[in-house]
Amino acid sequence: MACSSRSLLSFSSVRRSQPSIPLISPLVAQKPRSCTLALRSKGVSLICSNPKKFRARTRSSMAEVTADNGKGKVKVFDSEEEVAVGLAKYTADISNKITNEKSSFTVVLSGGSLIHSLRKLVEAPYIDSIEWGKWHVFWVDERVVPKDHVDSNYKLAYDGFLSKVPIPPGQVYAINDALSAEGAADDYETCLKHLVTNGVLHVSAKTGFPKFDLMLLGMGPDGHVASLFPGHPLVKENKKWVTFIKDSPKPPPERITFTFPVINSSAYIAMVVVGAGKAPVIEATLGKSPNSEVLPVGMVSPEDEMTWFFDKQAASKI
């Protein structure tokens, strides 16, 4: 296979036996706080049905509110810790839904802070509720550096997530780090095409681009997603599946990235944004008067469902 799915040689040492699926999904088992939220920009505020009573009964439960603002579901949590729990529940729930229907579950990761926010997924009860054997893992973007380099998105994900779960090594698709940026992008696209041919990956009937089941993405403080940066011509790429950049404004400069047609052909996307430093971009994207310049994060629009995960700080201006 053209892409380098051979990279997890040491992975077998951490493989676990296949966990059973619980009768009740973690999402169903968790008692939700009965709240409705409409974003302030829509002129409606947070309403909770007897939140004091609820808090007294479930002291460890999350203070989570969910709304739909026309650009997807917006989940706001009290803290980053609670974002991580919410993200684990969401991911486990979608994994269970898809693996009940299909033999493969195609998941795309970003680098950056997203990986830290995935930490609860490798803990009970979530880790034991997931059919890891059906997971196929990809990267929405990768830095053109060796896989053991501190800047590698693969290394970040391996150390923080992949080394802790029993995904078969041949189903983890890292880039070929022996190639140039151009070569690695072409190689990764060829890899995706092979996976379409052998039925692991499906193509969107609407767009003809690959349709991944789930993308777990983060956003930079400038509004970039993947390695698609504000004002960069790559944002408009509409033919390639995977492309490369040699002048990334954020180091390292050489990277490969999925293009917007691929990102937006996904079934589900979770956009995970935490911290006050990202609040202005969230305001510019989801607030009352969105910026006239649409930032890359504002161009994300999957085929089936978009869900935003914020802590209070990131959502403080909407």
Ligand X SMILES: O=C1O[C@H](COP(=O)(O)O)[C@@H](O)[C@H](O)[C@H]1O
- Using CB under 6 A, list all residues that contact ligand X: 110-114, 141, 153, 218-220, 227, 250
The amino acid at residue 155 is: K
Residue located via tokens 């983060």: 218
Q: How far is the CB of 244 from ligand X (least distance, A)?
A: 13
> 141-143 and 255-258 as β-strands: parallel, antiparallel, unpaired?
antiparallel
Burial class (CB in 10 A: 0-12, 13-18, 19+), 34: exposed
Non-local CB neighbours of 45 within 8 Å, separated by 6+ positions: 37, 38
Cα distance between the two ends of the chain: 46
Q: How far is the CB of 193 from ligand X (least distance, A)?
A: 23
Q: How far is the CB of 232 from ligand X (least distance, A)?
A: 13
Nearer of residues 136 and 224 to ligand X, judged by Cβ: 224
Nearer of residues 114 and 282 to ligand X, judged by Cβ: 114
Nearer of residues 227 and 243 to ligand X, judged by Cβ: 227
Burial class (CB in 10 A: 0-12, 13-18, 19+), 189: buried
Q: Retrieve residue 285's tokens.
A: 């994207």
Q: How far is the CB of 277 from ligand X (least distance, A)?
A: 9
Q: What is the DSSP letter of 20?
A: P
Q: What is the sign, positive or negative, of the torsion defined by CA atoms of 127, 132, 135, 139?
A: positive
Query: Angle at CA 159, nearest 5°, toward 310 and 191?
Result: 90
On whether the CB atoms of residues 163 and 11 are closer than 8 A, the answer is yes
**Number of neighbours of residue 13 by Cβ within 10 angstroms:** 7
Q: How far is the CB of 40 from ligand X (least distance, A)?
A: 24
Nearer of residues 167 and 217 to ligand X, judged by Cβ: 217
- The closest residue (CB) to ligand X is 112
Nearer of residues 7 and 96 to ligand X, judged by Cβ: 7
On whether the CB atoms of residues 243 and 227 are closer than 8 A, the answer is no
Q: How far is the CB of 68 from ligand X (least distance, A)?
A: 24
Give the residue from 258, 5, 215, 35 showing the smallest Cα distance to 114: 215
Distance CA 307, CA 67 (A): 10
Nearer of residues 96 and 153 to ligand X, judged by Cβ: 153
Nearer of residues 111 and 125 to ligand X, judged by Cβ: 111
Give the residue from 131, 127, 141 showing the smallest Cα distance to 105: 131
Q: How far is the CB of 100 from ligand X (least distance, A)?
A: 29
Nearer of residues 54 and 138 to ligand X, judged by Cβ: 138
Q: How far is the CB of 153 from ligand X (least distance, A)?
A: 6
